[in-house]
Structure 1
Amino acid sequence: MILYHSDVQGLHADALTGFFVGWPQGPTPEQLLAVLRGSYRAVVAVDGDRVVGFVTAVSDGVLTAFLPWLEVLPGHQGQGIGSSLLDRVLGELAHLYSVDLTCDPHLRGFYERHGFTALDAMGRRNPTALG
């Protein structure tokens, strides 16, 4: 049974492995733990003692938020976990004017089903920050 939690302070890095499949180098479990704990909002999906998905939000707390991460372990995809995570974090951000994110083109339909609209965006990446 998947349980959802917004309190991430009790998590441990060893519960955060297996994410970022296909990345040349993803964040370490320790970095991911720091990201979850430092986010304005975070929701995790837990199966037993393992985190199987998470979403994070950064925000000014007044008008805007950005969702940098929505990840579900490959073996748990297609079960509605990503939708549940997104719905939960959007509920926590419902008072804000805008919630933005960037995604790969093949994921646009998923986000459109949750009320997002495609926008032009710019980004800058620093791969060396991953270690």
Structure 2
Amino acid sequence: MEISLSTDIDSISWEELARLFELAPLGKKRDPEKLEIAFRNSLLKVFAFHDTKLVGAGRALSDGVWRVVIYDVAVLPEYQGKGIGSTIIRHLVQSANVEVVMLYAAPGKEAFYERFGFRKMKTAMAIMPNPEERREKGFIESGPTTRSH
């Protein structure tokens, strides 16, 4: 199977990408307009195609010097297990060319990312909407449900 990578953001169907994230599954359906904004605002992005079919994607935010954070790595279920996700991760890590590469991963996917050298951090924290729901899904640990600024 011939898979090609592209960084050409102008050729992407945002509706198709939103559907890919839904099927991957990477949570509930995403708004295609917001998805486009997120990818356009990301320093690094890559799309995987089988012929002309979009089968995978990933993006990363970076300062271009010290840090990068990888987000939204997704592959259609029927294409998973064929090395496409690995290719996307390797592309983003190599393209980042920074000291520290961080990753935002869905719970249960840690073993996949450990193969690339990723390790769980003890100091990362997040403010998220619906903290109890996020805790139940394994994204965050227990803690206060209110936030103060």
Q: Assess same fold via TM > 0.5.
A: yes
- 8 A Cα contact 2:47 2:58, kept in partner: yes
Instruction: Between 60-69 and 5-14, report the one with greater CA deviation.
Output: 5-14
Structure 1 CA distance, aligned partners of 2:61 and 2:22?
19
Q: 1:88 aligns with which of 79, 87, 91?
A: 91
Kindly indicate whether residue 80 of structure 2 is the aligned counterpart of residue 77 of structure 1: yes
Q: Deviations over 1:42-68 (max 9, x none)?
A: 011012332111110001112111112
Secondary structure of 1:54 counterpart: strand
Structure 1 CA distance, aligned partners of 2:37 and 2:75?
18
Q: Give the number of the structure whose alpha-carbon radius of gyration is greater.
A: 2
Q: Which amino acid in the other structure matches residue 27 of structure 1? A: R
Q: Deviations over 1:50-89 (max 9, x none)?
A: 2111110001112111112111111211111000000011
**Against the structure 1 CA distance between its residues 10 and 82, is the aligned structure 2 distance closer, same or farther, given a 3 Å change threshold?**
same
TM-score normalised according to structure 1 size: 0.83
- Per-residue deviation at 1:102? 2.7
- 8 A Cα contact 1:12 1:33, kept in partner: no
Kindly indicate whether residue 13 of structure 2 is the aligned counterpart of residue 7 of structure 1: no
- 8 A Cα contact 2:70 2:101, kept in partner: yes
Instruction: Between 79-88 and 26-35, report the one with greater CA deviation.
Output: 26-35
**Partner residue in 2 for 1:61:** 64
Instruction: Between 21-30 and 36-45, report the one with greater CA deviation.
Output: 21-30
Q: Percent identity?
A: 30
Q: 2:109 aligns with which of 94, 107, 110?
A: 107
- Per-residue deviation at 1:24? 5.8
- Give the count of matched residue pairs: 126
**Partner residue in 1 for 2:21:** 19
Tell me: higher relative CO, structure 1 or 2? Use CA pairs within 8 A at least 6 residues apart.
1
TM-score normalised according to structure 2 size: 0.74
Gaps of at least 5 residues in structure 2 are 131-149
Structure 2 CA distance, aligned partners of 1:58 and 1:38?
8
Task: Report the RMSD for the aligned CA atoms in angstroms.
Answer: 2.0
